[in-house]
Amino acid sequence: MQPERHSPSSPRIGTTRHAAQDFAQARLHAETTELLHQRQAAKRVAERSHDAVDCRELLSMLGLANLPASTALHA
């Protein structure tokens, strides 16, 4: 029995492209959601910090020290 061969216009190729697009959209959504959560966390830390030094230390502990300064403003 011979393996099935697909022509260039085969539905399998279209399915692969569709899967790649779905993956790219899912990854973009995940990255966007992660950034939103980071912004929300940074905002909460800023609200509850005693001062700027405390805020920087807490953000650093959470791994959020490298966020742009304006990040919390957009949460």
User: CA–CA separation, 19 vs 16, rounded Å?
Assistant: 5
| Alpha-carbon gap, residue 64 to 54, rounded angstroms | 13
Q: What tens-digit pLDDT sequence spans the chain (75 residues)?
A: 555 555 555 556 667 878 889 999 999 999 999 989 999 999 999 999 999 999 999 999 999 988 766 655 554
At 30, give phi and psi (nearest 5°). Answer: -65, -45
pLDDT at 10: 54
CA-based nearest residue to 62, from 31, 41, 39: 41
